[in-house]
Amino acid sequence: MDIRVHGSTSPNPFLSASDLFETELDLERPVHVRVRDDPDERTWTAHPDGHHVLNISRQAATSVMARELALHEYSHMARNEQSHPSHTQSTAEALFLAFAGRSVERRKLTHCYQIANHMKDIYADDITLDLGPSDKLVTFLESQLAALVADRPQRLPGRRLTATSDPEMTAVNAAFALAMVERHDLVERDHRLYDLARTASRDAPSVDVQGFKYRFLSLGDDPTESEYRKALVDAAREYVLGGEEGGSEQAAD
């Protein structure tokens, strides 16, 4: 692998991640790591002609999760080079198919993009978790979900249990976290993640947490383009429309 780190930070986490990645896989195209000063910059990849770009904040690049974050993004790059449907399917196209002729709240559409990202992450981490230890990922999922359900108000009748402004998306995030640990058998059923997920579920009764967990869990290893598109369309419709009958199979054709 050809790793090129741009920015005044140590290249060690990115090189260490590439050494681990190369025990099983390789990337044909070079990787340009661009370290951003914005601490809120999320870690993400781009795939311009001829190379990959890993964008990461300086804060993340110098954290204890740096190697694991890099390994995760290399896995996304591998899925891109494999032309895996999860990484080639246009989310915008799928949402057009899901909601043609309907008016959908912008907030809900934004959440649908997050759901699509979760589905991509499922397939990236199928690679990641075959390559490296899982303890940091479990800790990361737990801390992220805990942050979303933290600082809840008193348990008064009619009051939310979580402080987030989007409890529905928090519930989907909880379903994703449970799907990840169950898909790879990472924790016991008495793990704190399950308590956090129950709290998130109570705060968003309109979201079927178990149903979304199953959607993420049931994603097959090698779906066809049509199968993956249908899975994405159905997930979006379930989130926005609550699983209204009819239209999902036709929309995905």
Q: Which helix (H) or strand (E) holds 46?
A: strand 44-46
pLDDT at position 178, please? 98
For the chain of 253 residues, list the mean pLDDT of each consecutive stretch of 10.
91 96 96 87 87 94 92 96 96 96 93 96 95 89 89 43 69 96 95 96 93 97 96 96 54 37
Q: Would you say 33 and 12 are in contact if contact means Cβ atoms under 8 Å apart?
A: no
Q: Please work out, in degrees rounded to the nearest 5, the angle formed at the alpha carbon of residue 216 by the alpha carbons of 151 and 41.
A: 55
Burial letters 110-148, b for 16+ CB under 10 A, else e: ebbeebbebbbbbbbbbbbbebbebeebbebbbeebeeb
pLDDT at position 52, please? 97
